[in-house]
Amino acid sequence: MRIVICEGQRIADYHTGEEIAFVPEPSSVTVGSYDGVHAGHRRIIGHMVEAASSRGLRSVVVTFEPHPRQIVDRGSSGHLKLLTLLEEKAMLIESLGVEWLFVVKFDRSFAAQSSESFIQDILLDIIGARNVVIGYDHGFGHGRKGGVGTLCRIAERKQFDVEVVDEIRLRAEHFSSTKIRTLLCEGRIKDANLFLGAPYLISGEVVHGAKKGREIGFPTVNLRIGSSNKLLPKYGVYIATTVIGGKEFKAMMNVGVRPTVAADTVPVVEAYVLGHTGELYGERLMFHLLDRLRDEIKFRSFEELQVQLEKDKKLVEQYQK
């Protein structure tokens, strides 16, 4: 999947930052923040990919960076925690068979655009949309005033097709990123994963830590998370998996302030990767959280911590997806 960043009239390759000539081509497009790429999002994106394939169109997901709520609702939602940072979102979207991820730089100037201006300038003129797939409750343009009716009226004049994906529910509940954030903050990782349609992701660069884990036989990888905006689940120990060198490993991950070891003032994410040896410093690892083992606990000694970690390790070894 190719990723480009659009800021005004400038379009650049995401990985190199170099400006590119983005050529409009007949495309099937969907638009959204798609934070978390949850099961509802997956249905919309999957529908768009199928439409593109059946009609010989290019498949394009248009998303925004930063999340629009971090700009528009800065007073009340400026500290919005994200389910997916851009790289994580891109990986999930790519897994759905999308050819292009078109990232629009979102600022107050862009937020002031009308829905019709956005459709004409971005979707039609720059991308070349012939088919637009949206969810039943989609809103876009200034104040999210543009909805399904607006899009259909514009489509009739501009001669492109609109397909609306109906609502789906789980346990009679609406799929929403807000619902998933709540579940994660409560430590209900399995319930969150049901709404996500896949395990929750935490990724980061492996950096040097205090190396206290090595002293008790549990060397951990410490992750530098790419942004303080990333939502971390309720503090505790989690069962996770990660892929290193093309091989999947089980891991037990601790999210919290490590009260026994250091009593950090900011949360730390570290993981003991079962069965892996060798250094990983500087590598970017992505962990899939499967289940929650327990709360983070302050132990009276490192010996007590070691005993508990041995118990945790056995549970991770025995865990079946």
Per-residue pLDDT tens digits for 252-297: 999 998 877 776 678 999 999 999 988 999 999 999 999 999 999 8
* Euclidean distance between CA atoms 233 and 1, whole angstroms: 29
Task: Name residue 146's beta-bridge partners.
Answer: 140
What's the number of CA atoms in the CB half-sphere (13 Å) around residue 299? 14
Domains of the chain, earliest start first: 2-170 (3.40.50.620), 199-318 (2.40.30.30)
Q: Is 304 left (phi over 0), alpha (psi -120 to 50) or beta?
A: alpha
Task: Name residue 227's beta-bridge partners.
Answer: none
User: Which value, to the nearest 10 degrees, does the dihedral of the CA atoms of residues 151, 152, 153, 159 take?
Assistant: 100
Q: Which residues of 30-45 are buried (b: 16+ CB within 10 A; e: fewer)?
A: bbbbbbbbbbbbbbbb
268 Cβ partners below 8 Å, 6+ apart?
209, 222, 254, 255, 256, 257, 258
* Structure confidence at residue 49 (pLDDT): 98
pLDDT tens across 174-215, in order? 888 999 999 999 999 999 999 999 999 999 999 987 777 777
Provide the 10 A C-beta neighbour count for residue 281.
10
Residue pair 92/52 in contact by the 8 Å Cβ criterion: no
pLDDT tens across 45-94, in order? 999 999 999 999 999 999 999 999 888 876 554 478 999 999 999 999 99
Residue pair 70/78 in contact by the 8 Å Cβ criterion: yes
Residue pair 28/134 in contact by the 8 Å Cβ criterion: no
* Euclidean distance between CA atoms 101 and 1, whole angstroms: 7
Secondary structure (3-state) at 285: strand
User: Cis ω on the peptide bond leading into residue 66 (within 30° of 0)?
Assistant: yes
Residue pair 250/241 in contact by the 8 Å Cβ criterion: yes
Residue pair 188/236 in contact by the 8 Å Cβ criterion: no
Residue pair 252/204 in contact by the 8 Å Cβ criterion: no
pLDDT tens across 220-264, in order? 999 999 899 999 999 999 999 999 999 999 999 999 988 777 766
Please check the confidence at residue 167 and state whether its pLDDT lies above 90.
Answer: no
User: Which value, to the nearest 10 degrees, does the dihedral of the CA atoms of residues 109, 112, 114, 117 take?
Assistant: 0
Closest CA to 147 of 164, 131, 130, 159: 164
- % of the chain exceeding 90 in pLDDT: 71
Going by their DSSP bridges, the two strands 100-105 and 2-7 should be labelled as parallel
Please check the confidence at residue 144 and state whether its pLDDT lies above 80.
Answer: no
- Pull the structure tokens for residue 226: 């790419």
112 Cβ partners below 8 Å, 6+ apart?
142
